[in-house]
Structure 1
Amino acid sequence: MVRRLFQSTGSIQSQVEIIEDVPGAVNPVNAKLVYVQSPNFHETKLTLAWKFEVEMQDNWYEAYMDASHVSRIHTVIDWASDTPAPKPSPVPLEPSYRVWSWGINDPSEGKRSLVSEYDKLASPVGWHSIPTGRGPLARGRLDSGLFLNSTTT
């Protein structure tokens, strides 16, 4: 079953398709039309594509399929965790950021919002800790045991 609804992000409104009963998915699949960059010989162009967000038991896929060529897949991102989920220690202050939400492509067309919450499943130890040796800046940095703490995003 497919349901259609409209989402508003600031002054931008977009159509979202909700596809239910997808085998293996734990929630309905969100699909919406977006533009993606795609290489074309010696240039990069914007291509209209369907963006699918598929939440599975242990993975969360984000897939981009060309809107005019159904057999062409631009990219698939697997948001799976490759480390066991540690138990986070209490953090005295939770970081917060002023961000442009998904859907705002031009900062002059939208306002930033203050975000301090994060997905505890995707980032079980917070935004600023990663397993030692897994990060690009891990070499030569001080760490606190199993996790490398950082002040960058």
Structure 2
Amino acid sequence: MATLAVIAVIDIHSPRSPLDGEWQAMSFTIDGTPAAMTAQDPNPWANVAITDRPDSQSFITQTPSGATTTWALDLRDHTLLIRRHLSNSPTALRYHWNPGDSLVLSGTIANHQIEGHYQRRPMGRADSTFRLVQPGPDPDRPRTS
């Protein structure tokens, strides 16, 4: 039993991908136009969090107002397949990761072409004001753990 607990703890703390972590937008465009970090449709993603662990995969977006959306995640070669509800078809986001801790996400969301340029945020909770607030339970929504 103790061995299983140790394995579970190792899995929780063992990212499978260098994309795993918190990312802050440096720039964001919607349909090729720079998006101000204010409310619009679709809302720009001021922050994203990617979890890619052996027992958990999720993609969480945060708008400038602080609202979060949890997406199911399937990480593929240069593509994130995300879905807001497990019953939805996946939406493909292309990604380009630079080992210098920068990430570019691009794709079509709500019939708009988006592109976000992100820098990795520190993972230390004491150093970060970025907090993920989970929505209420919905059996058709992806789980984050």
Instruction: Bin the TM-score by the shorter chain.
Output: under 0.3
Greater C-alpha Rg: 1
Give the TM-score of the pair, scaled to structure 1: 0.27
Give the TM-score of the pair, scaled to structure 2: 0.28
Structure number having the greater helix percentage: 2
